[in-house]
A and B are shown apart, each in its own frame.
Chain A
């Protein structure tokens, strides 16, 4: 309880944006992605899955999503979907309909192939080292540059 007075909502939200390669599902993203996520949710129903598989583009016509969101889904560009307000638990309905495992779908968001990704996981996963903060990474890169100049 003691922390309540110290908490600044703007600082809190700014920190959430300081993590490399991560889109935290904030209220701003949740608003932006509302229909994208609700569309994905509709694939929980077998009948809808059939209609989606039969004609994806046509299926999307019924959803008030932006053109960008529709193109990102059709291209299965999941990083783009995250940028446009998608959340992975909702997007999971799309990739399970495609028959992809969670790990395989997740690997498409990284710079690795699926076998490379699986190999990384078996070896203990991606390290937090160097992956904690965008600001800290920029600061250490700048310090390195400084060294190079001198």
Chain B
């Protein structure tokens, strides 16, 4: 039986990808950010997950205004890094796990989550930056990935409660997959940041850390945070944190924190990172 063994939360700022690709991770500016990922890199090497369900959002790369799926799952054999306007990142192609992905898609639809199914797409920094943060620069990614793209751009985006419930349904889906697989779920994006308008540059260390606190233990209070609170407290793009709730929901009633890291700033954004284990 497949099982979800851990959850990882991480920001996915594009500049971090640039830092990795250009060998700047030791610079004064970036070193404190990457230092907080060293523990996780070592841990991932030991854990050797077979598959990552990687929850992220597309930033006008694979999806434009023509189609705006709220929840979409990648069922492809592989995904190429997207050209986001300056040529694709020079990172390996991402290998999918179509058997597990299709199984999850079917199970979610039967559980009344009306998923969009993606058979072909390119993946942008939202997906490839977290892989770089956790695995560095390998020739080939050492893990297969099931991309799960969430609309957090066009309002209304899904509610926190819905995201959490989707996570719960993903847990059921994975646990009903007959093959013995070590599966992790990653929730990416955030933390506080605002990339637009005169209020751009808003960061909120205190709120972000309270949110990180809520990921640990048996509280499900985070599922009831309304959109307006993310917007007021964490900036317009802080809403990406609803994607962490999919990860948290998939870990069951209670979690244990294995590692936690927070740093301000990276470009316009607060970096948050957490590693959780189900504790049920």
Contacts and interface: CB of A to CB of B under 8 A. Distances in A.
B61 interface: yes
Contacts of A124: 203, 205, 264-265
Contacts of B204: 125, 127-128
Contacts of A21: 197-200
Interface in A93-112: 93, 96-97, 101-103, 106-107, 109-111
B59 interface: yes
B65 A38 contact: yes
Interface in B223-280: 224, 227-228, 231-234, 236, 264-265, 267-268, 270
B200 A107 contact: yes
Contacts of B236: 19, 22, 24
A43 B232 CA distance: 32
Contacts of A74: none
Interface residues of A, number: 56
Nearest to B29: A122
Contact of B201 (A24, A82, A120): A120
Contact of A109 (B159, B196, B203): B196
Nearest to A129: B204
B60 A22 contact: no
B197 A22 contact: yes
B64 A38 contact: yes
Interface stretch (A26-34, A55-63, A64-72, A138-146): A26-34
B203 A125 contact: yes
B268 A102 contact: yes
Contact of B199 (A22, A46, A92): A22
A131 B236 CA distance: 12
A92 B234 CA distance: 21
B232 A102 contact: no
A78 B201 CA distance: 15
A44 B205 CA distance: 34
Contact of B85 (A43, A82, A87, A103): A43
B270 A128 contact: no
Given A16-B228, A26-B155, A109-B197, A126 B202 contact: yes
Given A30-B65, A109-B197, A125-B201, A25 B154 contact: yes
Nearest to B124: A89
Interface string B159-184: 10100000000000000000000000
B60 A41 contact: yes
B14 interface: yes
Given A26-B155, A88-B195, A92-B60, A16 B201 contact: no
Contacts of A88: 195-196
B84 A44 contact: yes
Contacts of B66: 38
A110 B196 CA distance: 9
B23 interface: no
28 contacts: A22-B197, A22-B199, A24-B155, A27-B155, A30-B65, A30-B154, A38-B65, A40-B60, A44-B61, A44-B85, A79-B197, A87-B154, A89-B59, A89-B153, A90-B65, A93-B60, A96-B84, A102-B15, A102-B195, A103-B267, A107-B200, A121-B203, A121-B264, A124-B203, A125-B192, A128-B207, A128-B234, A133-B232
Interface of B: 14-15, 59-61, 64-66, 83-87, 153-156, 159, 161, 192, 194-205, 207, 224, 227-228, 231-234, 236, 264-265, 267-268, 270
Smallest CB-CB A-B distances: 4 pairs: A125-B203, A21-B199, A21-B198, A96-B85
